[in-house]
A = this chain, B = another copy of it.
Amino acid sequence: MIVIGELINGMYKDVGKAVSNRETDVIQHLAIDQVKAGSQVLDVNTGPYSKNPKDDMKWLIESIQAVVDVRLALDSTKADVIEEGLRLVKNRAVINSTNADEAKMDVIFGLAKKYNTQVIGLAMDKAGVPNSREKRLELAATIMAKAIDYGIGTDDVFLDPIVLPVNVAQTQGREVLEAIREFSCLSDPAPNTVIGLSNVSQGTKFRSLVNRTFLTMAIADGLTSAILDPLDKELMDAMITAELVLNKHIYCDSFLDAYRKK
């Protein structure tokens, strides 16, 4: 599993405040802690209240890269904010994200080609989030076709079936899980698959339990990546164990520690 740490996001109150006030140590601690906990990629999002998102993105990336050597997922709805970030990243970036709209894909895959990045592709379009696995698959196929047009490697696309909160869209859990399974068959090499995990437990009472249960189920269905809170130890334990069961790393009695030391 490729773990994308979700915590550097201005929508979280502490992070939003740190961005506004240029509190470098807050961001750097979050970066170090997430990498130590097993994130191979860190999501970077200036947040909904950022007044100068390009400046904020630049400051975030420079703050993070000063303390950790890690890949970044540049998370913004604005292409110019993403491109500002792409000029600064030291490692291969992930663009978070495109959807299946033609105009959006042309901009994002254009940037991906120019800067040799990977791309998260959301299985949604102007009509919103689909409510069936079939519509999700159709949109994912649209994204893959466009990626191929732009010469992007099929395994450089991370298809996201769009997870919805279980308390308001309870029928969608099964649809998302089956979509993950079906996405894997769209190309050879298979695309990566990714979910914004925390969304499944939004507004629920036992968030960590719901998150780790859903992640475990998604891994059973072939999920290869997730945007999640890597500081949730029980979540990471569940992820490591699910991968153990699937023979992704070799059993030893101390398999949890062994994975973390890698």
Q: Interface on A for B, CB 8 Å cutoff?
A: 166-167, 170-171, 173-174, 177, 200, 204-206, 209-210, 213-214, 216-221, 237-238, 241-242, 244-247, 250-251, 253-256
Which residues on B sit within 8 Å (CB–CB) of A213?
A: 216, 238, 241-242, 245
Which residues on B sit within 8 Å (CB–CB) of A217?
A: 216-217, 219-220, 242, 245
Nearest Cβ in chain B — how far from A18, in angstroms? 31
Which residues on B sit within 8 Å (CB–CB) of A206?
A: 241, 255-256
Tell me the number of copies of this protein: 2
Q: Are B173 and A245 in contact (CB under 8 A)?
A: yes
Among residues of B, the one whose C-beta sits closest to the C-beta of A167 is: B251
Q: Are B173 and A241 in contact (CB under 8 A)?
A: no
Nearest Cβ in chain B — how far from A111, in angstroms? 35
Which residues on B sit within 8 Å (CB–CB) of A204?
A: 251, 253
Report how far A238 CA is from B183 CA in the complex, Å.
Answer: 26
Q: Are A246 and B205 in contact (CB under 8 A)?
A: no
Among residues of B, the one whose C-beta sits closest to the C-beta of A204 is: B253
With contacts A205-B254, A251-B170 taken as known, whether A177 is within 8 angstroms of B220 at the C-beta atoms is yes
- A253: contacting residue among B205, B244, B256, CB under 8 A: B205
Among residues of B, the one whose C-beta sits closest to the C-beta of A253 is: B205
- A250: contacting residue among B170, B216, B241, B254, CB under 8 A: B170
Report how far A210 CA is from B237 CA in the complex, Å.
Answer: 10
Which residues on B sit within 8 Å (CB–CB) of A200?
A: 245
Q: Which 7 A-B pairs have the closest CB atoms?
A: A217-B220, A173-B245, A213-B241, A220-B220, A216-B216, A205-B253, A170-B247
Report how far A62 CA is from B178 CA in the complex, Å.
Answer: 46
Q: Could you list 7 A-B pairs, sorted by A, with CB under 8 Å?
A: A166-B244, A170-B247, A174-B247, A204-B251, A209-B241, A216-B216, A220-B221
- A245: contacting residue among B214, B237, B238, B254, CB under 8 A: B214
Report how far A213 CA is from B219 CA in the complex, Å.
Answer: 10
Report how far A205 CA is from B251 CA in the complex, Å.
Answer: 11
Among residues of B, the one whose C-beta sits closest to the C-beta of A219 is: B217
Report how far A47 CA is from B200 CA in the complex, Å.
Answer: 44
Which residues on B sit within 8 Å (CB–CB) of A253?
A: 167, 204-205
Among residues of B, the one whose C-beta sits closest to the C-beta of A242 is: B213
Which residues on B sit within 8 Å (CB–CB) of A251?
A: 166-167, 170, 204
